[in-house]
């Protein structure tokens, strides 16, 4: 188990008055977090900058001072969601030894991650559907994330012994389909079959 080393020479002093109260987040952080939640729960097109600013306890002027446009705000939100997604991915695969175990563990983790009652599918998938203009900056973020997902699945599949990219492509289709199924048919629908379906596909390509 990893532990944090504490320098014994570190002098402990009393906190300043009022230090127990959490610092109020900046207007930018409040706007960003509010927009992220609203975009995911309500949809990007359905949410206006006025409602974001109001719920964040900020002004519309403050929003535009931090984010030049709604499109810029959307793009920044998706970039952060993509970044967090890769951190999560690396943590999951890092817990397993072999490429095959990593693949199977990923799909177990994907199923677990998207099974909560609050899950509304993949934020990047949802954004790509709403912002389908090919040159929209936020669409490009979602597209790049999905391309990297496919690249990683193909890389793991080949490392596990796949002869070509068919396994990775098939796993990508399963994953993307499970996201949409979770949105339309909820957690007790076909999305619950994701780990078993992934294992069946893996066996088909690696054990025959």
Q: What is the pLDDT of residue 117?
A: 53
Between CA 67 and CA 26 the distance in angstroms is: 14
Instruction: Provide the 10 A C-beta neighbour count for residue 98.
Output: 12
pLDDT 10s digits, 6-43: 233 323 333 444 455 567 889 999 999 999 999 999 99
CB 35 within 8 A of CB 47: yes
Tokens at residue 92, please?
Answer: 């999951």
DSSP string, 88-157: HHHHHHTT-SSHHHHHHHHHHHHHHHT-STT--S-HHHHHHHH---TT-HHHHHHHHHHHHHHHHHHHHH
pLDDT 10s digits, 77-132: 999 999 999 999 999 999 999 999 999 999 999 988 877 655 678 999 999 999 98
Count H helices and E strands in the chain, helices first: 9, 0
pLDDT 10s digits, 174-185: 999 998 888 888
The alpha carbon of 145 is separated from its chain's Cα centroid by a whole number of angstroms, namely: 10
CB 194 within 8 A of CB 107: yes
Tokens at residue 13, please?
Answer: 């002093």
Q: What is the pLDDT of residue 123?
A: 93
Q: What is the pLDDT of residue 22?
A: 61
End-to-end, the C-alpha distance of the chain in Å comes to: 39
Distances (CA, A) of 196 to 11, 76, 155, 175: 54, 35, 21, 12
Between CA 144 and CA 124 the distance in angstroms is: 10
Question: What sign results for the dihedral spanned by CA atoms 90, 169, 139, 119?
Answer: negative
């Amino acid at each position: 188990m990893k532990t944090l080393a504490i320098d014994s020479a570190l002098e402990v002093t009393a906190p300043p008055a009022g230090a127990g109260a959490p610092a109020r987040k900046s207007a930018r952080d409040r706007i960003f977090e509010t927009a992220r939640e609203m975009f995911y729960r309500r949809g990007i097109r359905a949410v206006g900058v006025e409602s974001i600013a109001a719920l964040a306890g900020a002004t519309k002027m403050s929003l535009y001072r931090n984010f030049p446009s709604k499109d810029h705000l959307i793009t920044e939100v998706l970039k952060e969601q993509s970044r967090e997604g890769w951190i999560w991915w690396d943590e999951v695969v890092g817990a397993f030894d072999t490429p095959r175990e990593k693949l199977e563990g990923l799909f177990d983790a994907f199923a677990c991650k998207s099974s909560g009652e609050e899950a509304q599918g993949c934020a990047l998938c949802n954004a790509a559907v709403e912002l389908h203009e090919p040159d929209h900056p936020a669409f490009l973020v979602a597209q790049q994330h999905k391309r990297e997902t496919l690249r990683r699945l193909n890389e793991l599949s080949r490392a596990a012994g796949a002869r070509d990219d068919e396994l990775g492509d098939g796993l990508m289709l399963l994953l993307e389909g499970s996201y949409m199924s979770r949105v339309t048919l909820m957690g007790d629908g076909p999305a619950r079959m994701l780990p078993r379906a992934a294992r069946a596909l893996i066996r088909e390509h690696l054990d025959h």
